[in-house]
Amino acid sequence: MPQCSRQKPSWTGREQMAHSDTPTLQQQAERLREWRAGFQAVYVIATGIQTGFFDQLAAHPQGLTAQELAQRTGCHTPYVAIWCASAYRYRLVDTHDGRYVLAPHIDSLLAGQTHPDSQAALFLNVVRDAGPRLAQHADYMKSGTMGSHAEAYGRNPIRLDPPPNQEALQWRLWCEEMRPRVPTLNDALRNGGRVLDVGCGPGLMLLQLAAAYPTASFVGVDVVELGGLETARRLIRARGCESRIHVECVAAEQMTYAEAFDGVLITRVFHEIPVEIRAALFRACYHALKRPGVLLNLDFAYPDTLEEFRQPLFWSGVDNQYREMVWGTVHPTWQEQHRMLTEAGFTAIERHFVPQIPQGTHYLAVAHKR
Ligand SMILES: C[S@@+](CC[C@H](N)C(=O)[O-])C[C@H]1O[C@@H](n2cnc3c(N)ncnc32)[C@H](O)[C@@H]1O
């Protein structure tokens, strides 16, 4: 009988990897099982938010049986019992005297939705919006069809009102990440300074700043009305801030402000700006700033090197890039951003990692006009 004559594969990648940390087949299989379990955990969590299970458990720290939870939420007891068991398996709940209680910190993260660390809106967004889009990626790969970010704001009803924890989150960002790094801007704001928020969306950062600095004034620009500027105008009116916050529909790269602001903020916007107009946006920001002035650009941390793709610090950027590619997102690397800032005229450019954001680690660029 001739021996099986299967040729050895000629690909050499494996040989190059063949050292002590080369995973076994079993380890790779286990990793795949974990991703699959994680996928299901997302749905268990989203269901717990949508049904009010987490809220009910948060309201009853002494615990609830599956039957009590089902009664309080108007759900089918046998299914609720299976949900509870799954939530226990995922360490979302613990048990105490035969009743289910929330596991540590799950109340802040998934119940109530107002805590700055709340991830509830993100889980709902994943199952309602991102999931169906991701399921079509095989088609997108072939067609290369590109949508736009405006779809997410203007046409998606769940984005019309900002998630309930956004104001607390913006305030924490300002107090803990931004303000300590820009003392000159803080002083200017205390003395009637002016700040521009580029891509202000519903204007939540402007509202926080207006409340904290009663003599300062603010301008916000954005291109989306529904879910963006419309919401901003409504909130500005409701809080009586019309005389100090002005928002307008202007594309960031077309702004013509000159020497008008002590600070410019760009928060979670830059990755949405088309690559070919990013340099113009930084130039417009530089032009808009007084001297001295400072630009703060907060966005997902995206890797510069292949090695960084496997570093957790950059996973929020890597994952967002995949999730939003069909909207035209192209995340800038730090080096690209640094080069564009320098070419626009900015100096003393710093990068700070910002871990405390529910979406994952971001970085904050601080760049000066001196
Ligand atoms: C993820 S949201 C962030 C909103 C807000 N800065 C925040 O942190 O909540 C991105 C915003 O950038 C706006 N945007 C995108 N491209 C823009 C452009 N060329 N000019 C002005 N705004 C833009 C979007 O309309 C959207 O409101």
Q: Is the pLDDT higher at 161 or at 363?
A: 363
How is residue 258 annotated by DSSP?
A: -
Q: CA 332, 333, 338, 343: dihedral to nearest 10 degrees?
A: -50
Whether 299 is in the pocket of ligand 1, judged by its Cβ within 6 Å, is no
Q: Provide the strand spans (E) within 9-166.
A: 93-96, 99-102
Whether 126 is in the pocket of ligand 1, judged by its Cβ within 6 Å, is no
Residue identified by tokens 């919006």 is 129
Q: pLDDT digit string (tens) for 200-220?
A: 999 999 999 999 999 999 999
Whether residue 75 is predicted with pLDDT greater than 60 in this model: the reply is yes
CA 222 – ligand 1 centroid, Å: 6
* pLDDT value of position 9: 42
**b/e map of 192-211 (b: 16 or more CB within 10 Å)?**
ebbbbbbbbbbbbbbbbbbe
Whether 255 is in the pocket of ligand 1, judged by its Cβ within 6 Å, is no
Q: pLDDT digit string (tens) for 117-139?
A: 999 999 999 999 899 999 999 99
Atom of ligand 1 lying closest to residue 273 CA:
16
CA 247 – ligand 1 centroid, Å: 13
Mean pLDDT of 196-200: 98
**252 within 8 A of 241, measured Cβ to Cβ:** no
Atom of ligand 1 lying closest to residue 274 CA:
19
- Confidence band for 157, pLDDT divided at 50, 70 and 90: low
Whether residue 12 is predicted with pLDDT greater than 50 in this model: the reply is no
Whether residue 18 is predicted with pLDDT greater than 80 in this model: the reply is no
* pLDDT value of position 208: 97
CA 39 – ligand 1 centroid, Å: 29
CA 314 – ligand 1 centroid, Å: 21
Whether 251 is in the pocket of ligand 1, judged by its Cβ within 6 Å, is yes
**311 within 8 A of 303, measured Cβ to Cβ:** yes
* pLDDT value of position 16: 47
Whether residue 155 is predicted with pLDDT greater than 80 in this model: the reply is no
Q: CA 73, 76, 79, 85: dihedral to nearest 10 degrees?
A: 40
* pLDDT value of position 5: 41
- Confidence band for 159, pLDDT divided at 50, 70 and 90: low
- Confidence band for 53, pLDDT divided at 50, 70 and 90: very high
Whether residue 47 is predicted with pLDDT greater than 80 in this model: the reply is yes
* pLDDT value of position 2: 38
- Confidence band for 147, pLDDT divided at 50, 70 and 90: confident
* pLDDT value of position 20: 60
**Going by CA atoms, what residue is nearest to atom 11 of ligand 1?**
199
Whether 200 is in the pocket of ligand 1, judged by its Cβ within 6 Å, is yes
Among residues 207, 199, 195, 288, which one has the least CA distance to residue 242? 207
Q: Provide the strand spans (E) within the chain.
A: 93-96, 99-102, 194-198, 217-222, 245-249, 261-267, 289-300, 347-354, 362-369
Atom of ligand 1 lying closest to residue 298 CA:
8
- Confidence band for 249, pLDDT divided at 50, 70 and 90: very high
Atom of ligand 1 lying closest to residue 197 CA:
6
Percent of the chain with pLDDT over 90: 86
Whether 284 is in the pocket of ligand 1, judged by its Cβ within 6 Å, is no
Mean pLDDT of 196-201: 97
Best residue among 153, 155, 223 to mutate for probing ligand 1, ranked by most atoms within 8 Å of CB: 223
Query: Comparing 61-65, 142-146, 290-294, which segment has the lowest mean pLDDT?
Result: 142-146
**Going by CA atoms, what residue is nearest to atom 10 of ligand 1?**
269
Q: How far is CA 229 from CA 35, 232, 329, 368, in A?
A: 38, 5, 21, 28
Residue ranges of domains in the chain, CATH in brackets: 25-126 (1.10.10.10), 158-369 (3.40.50.150)
CA 315 from centre of chain: 12
CA 240 – ligand 1 centroid, Å: 23
Whether residue 14 is predicted with pLDDT greater than 80 in this model: the reply is no
Query: Comparing 11-25, 123-137, 331-345, which segment has the lowest mean pLDDT?
Result: 11-25
Whether 206 is in the pocket of ligand 1, judged by its Cβ within 6 Å, is no
